[in-house]
Structure 1
């Protein structure tokens, strides 16, 4: 079992763009979203598929199992997910001076939302928020992709 430890912050500035090393287009949907567990299917650049199972979050950590699956299977599974709003976003991987950070710029029903994430090896790992980042939303469930799938950002009042 793997455990993902992740900090998530809203992005308030544009300075991060100068450090973007690469970007990829992500499409994803949820096959299961129940308390304590989600099952996600993801397609990256329409070339690589993943099936991910995540457990209940405790602090900034949560169990995560991720498996690469055939692209055709990922497309079919995305088509099976009918009870939500598919997540579309561009993910930017950042380099110096913010190595390790990724920025997700959402589109579709979540357009206008830009979130930065930093995975760390353990809950007590020291980290620093970039000056272009704002509110820490790690503990706010509204900003999880599973919730954004059922209650998109553009539908918030």
Structure 2
């Protein structure tokens, strides 16, 4: 059984500085409900099918499988709900943790989120200076929710 333990944060890009070697990611959702999400992702010319269970605290089941790129693109185009999530991910290794910084584009332009995966829910994290606010568990920041309620529309409901 694969378990993902992850925390999410808003960040201050000015304190972060210059980012290099980002990976373009396009991802879409076949289904989203309270019990599970099924998503397709294209990253670095590879396709992935991912199934995630519902959150229990900061943990959830996660299963990910590489699929042919042609099939991933066809699923994104023909089977996924729109809009597709478009972002650039930067990997930063700091304080013995790998941070994934996502800069969103398209309908989610302006949103920047950092995620850190943990080995244990109670694992100690040394926060980089660029961390502003934890948003773990706030559903509006879930990628599956950003597809339904893009950041560009938050001024009318969330912000």
Partner of residue 139, structure 1: 137
Runs of 4+ in 1 over 4 A off after TM superposition: 96-99
- Cα distance in 1 between the residues matched to 2:96 and 2:104: 20
Q: 1:99 to 1:14 in 2, by over 3 A?
A: farther
Residue 84 of structure 1 deviates from its aligned partner by 2.6
Residues 51-108 of structure 1, C-alpha deviation per residue, up to 9 Å, x if partnerless?
Answer: 0000010111010000000000100100123533110000000134574111000000
How many residues align? The count is 155
When the two chains are superposed, the root-mean-square deviation of aligned CA atoms in Å is 1.6
TM-score, structure 1 as length reference: 0.92
Superposed, 1:9-28 pairs within 5 Å as 9-18=9-18, 20=19, 22-28=21-27
Which structure 1 segments of 5+ residues have no match? none
| Aligned partners of 1:37 and 1:55 also within 8 Å | yes
| C-alpha contact 1:98 1:130 (8 A) present in aligned 2 | no
Is 2:37 aligned against 1:38?
yes
1:82-121 superposed matches below 5 A: 83-96=81-94, 99-121=97-119
State the secondary structure of the residue aligned to 2:121.
coil
C-alpha contact (below 8 Å) 1:13/1:133 kept by paired residues: no
Distance 2:136 2:65 in 1: 24
1:4 aligns with: 4
Alignment of 1:26-65 (within 5 A): 26-45=25-44, 47-65=45-63
Matched residue SS, 2:21: strand
